[in-house]
Each structure stands twice: as structure tokens, then as C-alpha cells.
Amino acid sequence: MQKTTFAAGCFWGVEAEFKKLKGVRSTTCGYTGGQKENPTYKEVYTGETGHAEAVEIEFDENVISFEELLNAFWNMHDPTTLNRQGPDVGSQYRSAIFYFSDEQKKLAENSREALKNSKIITEIVPASKFWPAEDYHQDYFDKNPDTYCHTK
């Protein structure tokens, strides 16, 4: 099993999209990339914690490759909009790849370059402490199927 973390706007839709992929073993909505210890949704929502809404993914590399996850990531959001996805605005909705190894970093950078789009603003940064979001955010679309999200 490997782990990675992606931020691509509201974590509800990002989680739902990754859960569809064969080889993704688990997903957890949460917060990462900021300064506040143990942040809450209400704190992250203000944009003042520095955290992004993100999804931590455990995947079986024998079933799905990191490159396939990257392809899904690039296709589920607009990586050219700064701090915005759909109606969600703020640094907490930024586009970012939080890598766990030099290999993941290299693959992420190569995949970004392969898109040949100079307007991509996606951060590729080392993974930092990941804080799981409150329980009601986990599997949100399973519990609330009529909810709108930029990825749907």
C-alpha cells in the first residue's frame, strides 16, 4: 500500500471521485498544508489556518499506479485557477499534490509538465501533518447524494 494526498477544491467531490477508482483502498477527507494544530472545519473555512481541504488516499500500487491517480486528479478540477474551484473561493480550495516520496514528487512534476499548460498553478509539496476532518465530512456524497460539487 502507498499513500498520497491531493487537494482540488471541496474535499467532498474529490473524495467521491477517487473512491470510484479500482485500487483505491481508503480515502479520508481532512486538512493539510497549514500552520494550525488540529484545525476544525470552521477554522479552515475562514482561510486563515493555511490548510487546504484535501483527501488522503491509500492505494494498492499493484492495482492502480500513482500516475493513474495523477491523471484522475488533473481531470477532476481546474488546475489553472488560483485558490478557487467552482463556487468555492479561498486558499483552502487550492490545487495541490502532497507527495510522500521523491518518486511521487518526480512523477507529479513530470505529469504537470506533460500537460503543457503554462497556466497550471498546482503546488507540488512534501506531505505534512494531515488532520482528518470531522466525521460528517467523511463519505459525504454517500450520505448526501443530491449535493452539488464542482467535480460532479
| Helix boundaries (H) for the chain | 11-19, 41-45, 66-76, 102-114, 140-143
Alpha-carbon distance 71 to 58, whole Å? 16
Give the containing element (helix H, strand E) for 97.
strand 95-99
Q: Which of 7, 8, 10, 96 is catalytic?
A: 10
Alpha-carbon distance 98 to 16, whole Å? 19
| 18 neighbors 28 (Cβ within 8 angstroms) | no
Q: Is 10 a catalytic residue?
A: yes
Q: Could you list the active site residues?
A: 10
